Amino acid sequence: MDASISALRSSGRLTPPASLMIYVATQPVDFRKGAEGRALLAKETLGHAPMKGVAVVFRAKRADRVKIIVWDGSGLVMYWKRLDGSGFKWPPIVAGVMRIKCRSFDLI
């Protein structure tokens, strides 16, 4: 793996390097798209292509699901997480994208 996603901890959490730029799509998206469709959406609507060494986090209409797209050096990887019985705390929905630091990403 290159500098995108380095490892999975034993707890099952992603451990990105501190240098990884992480972007969150601020509007909910259709969760039926796969990795390639989501990467194209990130590039065309958000201006950030996962193949360029960034991670992009997408949220579902329900606040309990996220999909994360990242290039691991050899291919496109999509992580999917659903919380049971609760939801992620999201900022107000606005058009665009926001950048987060690896510390905040660790909370996902």
pLDDT of residue 48: 85
pLDDT in tens, 21-65: 888 888 888 888 888 888 888 888 888 888 888 888 888 888 788
Count helices and strands (H / E) in the chain: 2, 7
Of the chain, the percentage scoring pLDDT greater than 90 comes to 1
Does the pTM surpass 0.75? The reply is: no
Of the chain, the percentage scoring pLDDT greater than 70 comes to 68
pLDDT of residue 10: 39
CA angle centred on 17, ends 90 and 60, rounded to 5°: 25
Mean pLDDT of the chain: 75
Between strands 76-82 and 14-15, the pairing is unpaired
